[in-house]
């Protein structure tokens, strides 16, 4: 069996997230159906991680085993011809047998996009969270730096069964303005459930002037979800890239 | 009665175009409903021109008469609070009584957007027409120049009742590449039904190498819709701005 790695983009708007679910359209389902159409066998795909309903991906990574002899570039062309137009394969590679998209991911970069124009851009409403109040981006960036490094991020996760540890390492966190849009970039060795969305919801409180900057560090130390800010909505979140 | 001019953007995806129709959601309908909610009276709005189902606007211009005493900036804020999130008011101005958004429009700029990456961008599929074959943009630009000036554009209109003349003046036409996207910009003193979409469909034949450049000028001279290329699909078309 060959081990094929795919990199894919998807518009999460019309998906109930990555993971297969009965009665819901998911990215994993449409991808596995396309692979089955091409190879004749329904594969078991593994992604670098789940994305939630409404969350987008620019560079999600998936792998699967197949007996198919198609070269990788044929997977790209043929799967793109079969997939619905809200998912695109950006590349395919044959990997060593041992490669695993979930277990081998060393780091992931997520971007949370805020539309900070006084009136929401109709063309960006599916791809950003609108905050009409002018945000203090410098204060958000400074406050976010307290989350860098290795910490227990229990204050920034939504409870999820089977989770053994909430310790993760954020290697990069930055808040930048691009005209009317504010980008919150977070790179870490792994992410807890709703981690970027609760970090974003929290530092947005700083940006609006409702929280002093120091309170983000205090919320982290509390290791209590109730001490952090709200979970920002899914449509602003993008999985940008995965590093192996 | 005061004469109010509005500039608005809309994502045309979920609209059956500008003009009110029974049983269909249109931009005129949602705008007039919002104005009625604000002023208590359903106004008769006039736009610079109709846009078709699926066509977008960055800067459509509309005017209406009202007895309301709200200053223009209140129209912007209040209407944006009432409108669905696929329409945004970008500005409002009180105009002389004589101003008419349709009759006084001196020029309009439309942009047709082509996604020319080998695989369609999932995030741009509602806002572009995907052509996988690499386009010769320089040839498209040269061929398009034959359409500049005052001509009978009968070859580039879909028949529409009550049309008296097909003579229009194109003041600017340009084809440019921006990374994977190709923009076809057309500015004219007025547009016939489906004019930009049939011009785009025609010069795309040149870009694909299926037509020699000279054939665009020949199609224009024929004054026969059958001599020009197909009508490109609506989701690539944007009304960019209207000049008065």
Domains observed in chain B: 2-95 (3.30.70.580), 107-243 (3.30.70.660)
CA distance B122 to chain A (A): 5
Q: If pLDDT is split at 50, 70 and 90, which confidence band does A79 have? A: very high
Burial of residue A223, with CB atoms counted within 10 A of its CB: 0-12 exposed, 13-18 middle, 19 or more buried: middle
- What distance in Å separates the CA atoms of residue A107 and residue A94, rounded to the nearest whole number? 21
Burial of residue B102, with CB atoms counted within 10 A of its CB: 0-12 exposed, 13-18 middle, 19 or more buried: middle
Q: With an 8 Å Cβ cutoff, are B119 and A11 in contact?
A: no
Give the model confidence (pLDDT) of A141-172 as tens digits: 999 999 999 999 999 998 766 567 899 999 99
Q: With an 8 Å Cβ cutoff, are A88 and B127 in contact?
A: no
Q: With an 8 Å Cβ cutoff, are B56 and A121 in contact?
A: no
Give the model confidence (pLDDT) of A114-140 as tens digits: 999 999 999 999 999 999 999 999 999
A143: β partners: none
Which ipTM was obtained for this model?
A: 0.80
Report the candidate in A10, A70, A118 with the shortest Cα–Cα distance to residue B73. Answer: A118
- What distance in Å separates the CA atoms of residue A168 and residue A108, rounded to the nearest whole number? 12
Report the candidate in A50, A46, A177, A185 with the shortest Cα–Cα distance to residue A109. Answer: A185
Q: Which residues of A touch B56 (CB under 8 A)?
A: 123
State the average pLDDT for chain A.
95
Q: Which residues of B touch A11 (CB under 8 A)?
A: 122-123, 125
- What distance in Å separates the CA atoms of residue B201 and residue B112, rounded to the nearest whole number? 10
Give the model confidence (pLDDT) of B108-118 as tens digits: 999 999 999 99
The answer to whether residues B202 and B228 touch, using CB atoms and an 8 Å cutoff, is yes
Residue of A nearest to B238 (CA): A123
% of chain A with per-residue pLDDT over 70: 98
Report the candidate in A240, A119, A143, A134 with the shortest Cα–Cα distance to residue B91. Answer: A119
Report the candidate in B200, B183, B243, B240 with the shortest Cα–Cα distance to residue B56. Answer: B240
Report the candidate in A111, A112, A113, A102 with the shortest Cα–Cα distance to residue A190. Answer: A102
CA distance A9 to chain B (A): 7
For residue B158, the model assigns a pLDDT of 87
Q: With an 8 Å Cβ cutoff, are A85 and B56 in contact?
A: no
Q: With an 8 Å Cβ cutoff, are A88 and B9 in contact?
A: no
Catalytic residues of A: 52
In this prediction the pTM is 0.87
- What distance in Å separates the CA atoms of residue B151 and residue B217, rounded to the nearest whole number? 11
For residue B205, the model assigns a pLDDT of 98
Residue of A nearest to B77 (CA): A119
CA distance B174 to chain A (A): 24
Three-state DSSP state, A170: strand
The answer to whether residues B89 and B75 touch, using CB atoms and an 8 Å cutoff, is yes
Q: Which residues of A touch B88 (CB under 8 A)?
A: 119-122
Q: Which residues of A touch B121 (CB under 8 A)?
A: 9, 88
Q: With an 8 Å Cβ cutoff, are B88 and A119 in contact?
A: yes
Q: Which residues of A touch B85 (CB under 8 A)?
A: 120, 122, 125
Residue of A nearest to B123 (CA): A11
Straight-line distance from the first to the last Cα atom of chain B, in angstroms, rounded to the nearest whole number = 22
Report residue B82 CA to chain centroid gap.
24
- The H-assigned helical ranges of chain B are 27-39, 72-82, 137-144, 195-207, 215-222
Burial B186-216 (b: 16+ CB within 10 A, else e): bbbebbbbbbbbbbbbbbbbbbeeebebebb
Average pLDDT of the segment spanning B148-155: 96
Does an H or E element contain A34, and which? Answer: helix A27-39
At residue A53, what are phi and psi to the nearest 5 degrees?
-55, 130
The answer to whether residues B63 and B101 touch, using CB atoms and an 8 Å cutoff, is yes
For residue A186, the model assigns a pLDDT of 98
Burial of residue B101, with CB atoms counted within 10 A of its CB: 0-12 exposed, 13-18 middle, 19 or more buried: buried
Q: If pLDDT is split at 50, 70 and 90, which confidence band does B164 have? A: confident
For residue A192, the model assigns a pLDDT of 93
Choosing from B11, B14, B23, B52, the catalytic residue is B52
State the average pLDDT for chain B.
95
For residue A161, the model assigns a pLDDT of 60
CA distance A13 to chain B (A): 10
DSSP at B192: -
The pairing of strands A56-66 and A237-243 is parallel
Average pLDDT of the segment spanning A43-56: 95
Q: With an 8 Å Cβ cutoff, are A119 and B11 in contact?
A: no
Residue B87 vs residues A182, B60, B125, B151: alpha-carbon distances, Å: 22, 11, 19, 34
For residue A164, the model assigns a pLDDT of 77
Q: With an 8 Å Cβ cutoff, are A9 and B122 in contact?
A: yes
At residue B32, what are phi and psi to the nearest 5 degrees?
-65, -35
Contacts 24+ apart (CB under 8 A), A13-18: A13/A54, A13/A56, A13/A86, A13/A126, A13/A235, A14/A86, A15/A53, A15/A54, A15/A86, A16/A53, A17/A50, A17/A51, A17/A52, A17/A53, A17/A54, A17/A55, A18/A47, A18/A49, A18/A50, A18/A51, A18/A60
Give the model confidence (pLDDT) of B190-226 as tens digits: 999 999 999 999 999 999 999 999 999 999 999 999 9
For residue A163, the model assigns a pLDDT of 66
Report the candidate in A14, A18, A15, A23 with the shortest Cα–Cα distance to residue A6. Answer: A18
Of residues B10, B121, B122, nearest to A122 (C-beta)? B10
Report the candidate in B120, B88, B73 with the shortest Cα–Cα distance to residue B236. Answer: B120
126-155 of A, contacting B, C-beta below 8 A: 127
pLDDT(B162) > 60: no
Q: With an 8 Å Cβ cutoff, are B9 and A56 in contact?
A: no
Report the candidate in B185, B160, B163, B161 with the shortest Cα–Cα distance to residue B174. Answer: B185
Residue of A nearest to B8 (CA): A122
For residue B161, the model assigns a pLDDT of 61
CA distance A86 to chain B (A): 5
- Cβ-Cβ contacts under 8 Å between A and B: the total is 46
DSSP at B231: P
Average pLDDT of the segment spanning B6-33: 96
Does an H or E element contain B21, and which? Answer: none
List the helix and strand counts (H, then E) for chain B.
5, 10
% of chain A with per-residue pLDDT over 90: 95
Inform me whether the C-beta atom of residue A111 falls under 8 Å from chain B C-beta atoms. Answer: no
Inform me whether the C-beta atom of residue A57 falls under 8 Å from chain B C-beta atoms. Answer: no
Q: With an 8 Å Cβ cutoff, are A11 and B90 in contact?
A: no
At residue A181, what are phi and psi to the nearest 5 degrees?
-110, 140
For residue B222, the model assigns a pLDDT of 96
């Amino acid at each position: 069996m060959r081990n094929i790695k795919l990199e894919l983009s998807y518009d999460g708007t019309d998906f109930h997230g990555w993971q297969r679910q009965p009665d819901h359209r998911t990215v994993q389902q449409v991808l596995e159906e396309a692979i089955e159409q091409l190879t004749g066998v329904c594969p078991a795909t593994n992604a670098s991680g789940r994305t939630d309903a409404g969350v987008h991906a620019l560079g999600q990574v998936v792998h699967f085993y197949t007996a198919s002899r198609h070269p990788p570039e044929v997977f790209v062309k043929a799967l793109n011809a079969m997939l619905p137009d809200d998912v695109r394969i950006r590349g395919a590679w044959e990997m060593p047998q041992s490669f695993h998209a979930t277990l081998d991911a060393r780091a992931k970069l997520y971007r949370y996009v805020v539309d900070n124009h006084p009136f929401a851009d109709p063309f960006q409403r599916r791809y950003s969270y609108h905050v009409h109040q002018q945000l203090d981006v410098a204060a958000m960036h400074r406050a976010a730096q307290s989350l860098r490094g290795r910490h227990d991020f229990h204050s920034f996760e939504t409870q999820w069964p089977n989770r053994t540890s909430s310790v993760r390492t954020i290697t990069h966190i930055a808040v930048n303005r691009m005209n009317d849009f504010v980008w919150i970039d977070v790179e870490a060795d792994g992410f807890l459930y709703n981690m970027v969305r609760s970090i974003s919801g929290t530092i947005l409180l700083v940006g609006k002037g409702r929280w002093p900057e120091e309170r983000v560090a205090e919320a982290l130390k509390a290791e209590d979800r109730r001490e952090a800010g709200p979970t920002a909505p899914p449509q602003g979140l993008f999985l940008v890239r995965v590093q192996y």
